[in-house]
Chains A and B, each alone.
Chain A
């Protein structure tokens, strides 16, 4: 096995992909499940191609990106400063820890009806719930990162004459960045989940969630699979994007 990964080099991860597609193709040939329920991989890829080259799928794809990106943006704007504030005072953090932890553990889908009742079934509600879920995750991680900031660095800034606020912006912020990125990556995954679920709700007219559900009800299975595939690719890409940003800007992490 070791020699195999040596031969293939960077292409090693493709093995899993090929195996998955093979198993799928064989299951299709053997007709483990009805062809209507499990179309061939080729028909899915054709549906992806058709949908993404100017079709409904592309439109829904962008709508989902828009909602998720807005949610993570708002969640960051709310979660990062609050995380820094809570994290920089142990007393303050202890006093809100339970509440944050409780809501962080509450499935965001459970608070959906609440937000629906307050804000109605519009676009804003979807973004609100996703923001709510992601902000808590980000807040928690940032606070954790701030609390675990190296004491020596804070002292160093202090003896060099940095005022309290500058210690926060010049040291705390950077010290917490690696953990902040953990929060952002978890947050964006959660935001995407919430957005997709929200798009399946009554009143939704677009987005990948809506696309999946719509095609399922129309029994357009290749299209439904295509939408699921695109949703998966989107989640993966968001994660990868944050990883790349992190490597670029948090270059000192782990060194």
Chain B
């Protein structure tokens, strides 16, 4: 463990310049004291395309980490590897030292239409993951009720998903991933199929949820503003093979709101990320 941490330090020194106070994954992890997800020596190729080559990363506990990077750099691949949807060629991924199968995690897909089960009512969709967790039917029902109450959800969950708006469906999808009270939540561009108004609403729902639960979140976004707005840390990935180009701390207090967008610190962080991103895109 110590050895690889030193290795990681060394690697991070070679990364593009970082702002003060927002440097390596380890220092970011240091903010809260410990790493929740530890990735060591991760490699993954698709045919000739090397997406990850001996990749190391620590994801800190209880923080909201936004992953941002150019198209096709491997953002989805990263969370799919961590969530066990694809097998790595090499490397280890541990959650507090545990393997994935011993970990309670949630995953929210971009395409809610294809991720929810249209043959089940929304309420049954939400309850579904509890079926595999040795929980009595009564307890299952209570858990869903508690979640509904905590989120203050007012939509009629007895409807089928196809009877709901896109935002409502994605909300159901998020609730389904939360009902198991996950330690970690992965979200792959969860709002990109929603209209702008719904996106704004869902961002704040997600933020409230994060503040409430302090669940470790790994959030992939195509929208830099959104990535910064929601994040404690923004991780900028470079392309081919992917490296952490920069790891930026966003120290803006929560709850953030529409006013945050014009906040000096927000503008500065966003401009910095954009600069790094543009260097990446031009560089490769």
Selecting from B67-75, B126-134, B146-154, B200-208, the interface stretch reads B126-134
Q: Is A171 an interface residue (CB 8 A)?
A: yes
- Interface flags for A216-255 (1: CB within 8 Å of B; 0: not) read 0000000000000000000000000000000000111001
A 149-171 contacts with B by CB, 8 A: 150, 152-153, 155-156, 158-163, 166, 170-171
In the complex, are the beta carbons of B85 and A160 less than 8 A apart? no
What is the CA–CA distance of A174 and B160 in the complex, to the nearest angstrom? 15
Known contacts A150-B114, A153-B114, A252-B160: does B119 contact A159 (CB below 8 Å)? Answer: no
Q: Is B84 an interface residue (CB 8 A)?
A: yes
Chain B residues whose CB sits within 8 angstroms of the CB of A251 once the complex forms: 119, 160
In the complex, are the beta carbons of B132 and A160 less than 8 A apart? yes
In the complex, are the beta carbons of B105 and A152 less than 8 A apart? no
Q: CB < 8 Å: which of A155, A163, A170, A177 contacts B85?
A: A155
What distance in Å separates the Cβ of A133 from its nearest Cβ neighbour in chain B?
Answer: 29
Q: Is B95 an interface residue (CB 8 A)?
A: no
Chain B residues whose CB sits within 8 angstroms of the CB of A163 once the complex forms: 132
What distance in Å separates the Cβ of A156 from its nearest Cβ neighbour in chain B?
Answer: 5
In the complex, are the beta carbons of A252 and B132 less than 8 A apart? no
What is the CA–CA distance of A155 and B109 in the complex, to the nearest angstrom? 10
Chain B residues whose CB sits within 8 angstroms of the CB of A177 once the complex forms: 119
Chain B residues whose CB sits within 8 angstroms of the CB of A162 once the complex forms: 131-132
What distance in Å separates the Cβ of A147 from its nearest Cβ neighbour in chain B?
Answer: 16
What is the CA–CA distance of A162 and B85 in the complex, to the nearest angstrom? 13
In the complex, are the beta carbons of B118 and A160 less than 8 A apart? no
B 101-141 contacts with A by CB, 8 A: 105-107, 109, 111, 114-119, 128-129, 131-133
Chain A residues whose CB sits within 8 angstroms of the CB of B116 once the complex forms: 156
What is the CA–CA distance of A161 and B85 in the complex, to the nearest angstrom? 12
**Contact count band on A:** 20 to 34
Q: Quick one: closest B residue to A150, CB to CB? A: B114
Chain B residues whose CB sits within 8 angstroms of the CB of A250 once the complex forms: 119
Chain A residues whose CB sits within 8 angstroms of the CB of B160 once the complex forms: 251-252
Chain A residues whose CB sits within 8 angstroms of the CB of B129 once the complex forms: 160-161
Q: Is B176 an interface residue (CB 8 A)?
A: yes
Q: Is B276 an interface residue (CB 8 A)?
A: no
Known contacts A159-B105, A159-B107, A160-B128: does B118 contact A252 (CB below 8 Å)? Answer: yes
In the complex, are the beta carbons of A156 and B107 less than 8 A apart? yes
Known contacts A152-B109, A156-B107, A251-B160: does B83 contact A171 (CB below 8 Å)? Answer: no
Q: Quick one: closest A residue to B80, CB to CB? A: A155
Interface centre among A160, A174, A251, A255 (most CB of B within 10 A): A160
Chain A residues whose CB sits within 8 angstroms of the CB of B114 once the complex forms: 150, 152-153
In the complex, are the beta carbons of A255 and B115 less than 8 A apart? no
Known contacts A152-B109, A152-B114, A255-B162: does B119 contact A160 (CB below 8 Å)? Answer: no
**Contact count band on B:** 20 to 34
Chain B residues whose CB sits within 8 angstroms of the CB of A160 once the complex forms: 128-129, 132, 176, 180
What is the CA–CA distance of A162 and B84 in the complex, to the nearest angstrom? 13
Chain A residues whose CB sits within 8 angstroms of the CB of B117 once the complex forms: 153, 156, 170-171, 174
Chain A residues whose CB sits within 8 angstroms of the CB of B105 once the complex forms: 159
What is the CA–CA distance of A160 and B119 in the complex, to the nearest angstrom? 17
In the complex, are the beta carbons of A156 and B115 less than 8 A apart? yes
Q: CB < 8 Å: which of A152, A161, A174 contacts B115?
A: A152
What distance in Å separates the Cβ of A145 from its nearest Cβ neighbour in chain B?
Answer: 13
What distance in Å separates the Cβ of A220 from its nearest Cβ neighbour in chain B?
Answer: 50
Known contacts A152-B109, A152-B111, A252-B162: does B118 contact A159 (CB below 8 Å)? Answer: no
Interface centre among A156, A170, A251 (most CB of B within 10 A): A156
What distance in Å separates the Cβ of A117 from its nearest Cβ neighbour in chain B?
Answer: 45
What is the CA–CA distance of A163 and B131 in the complex, to the nearest angstrom? 11
Known contacts A152-B109, A252-B119: does B85 contact A159 (CB below 8 Å)? Answer: yes
What is the CA–CA distance of A214 and B111 in the complex, to the nearest angstrom? 60
Chain B residues whose CB sits within 8 angstroms of the CB of A174 once the complex forms: 117, 119
Q: Quick one: closest A residue to B162, CB to CB? A: A255
What is the CA–CA distance of A160 and B116 in the complex, to the nearest angstrom? 12
CB pairs A–B below 8 angstroms (26 shown): A152-B109, A153-B114, A153-B115, A153-B117, A155-B109, A156-B109, A156-B115, A156-B117, A159-B83, A159-B105, A160-B128, A160-B132, A161-B129, A161-B133, A162-B131, A163-B132, A166-B131, A166-B132, A171-B117, A174-B117, A174-B119, A251-B160, A252-B119, A252-B162, A255-B118, A255-B162
The 5 residue pairs across chains A and B that have the minimum distance between CB atoms? A252-B118, A160-B129, A161-B132, A152-B114, A255-B162
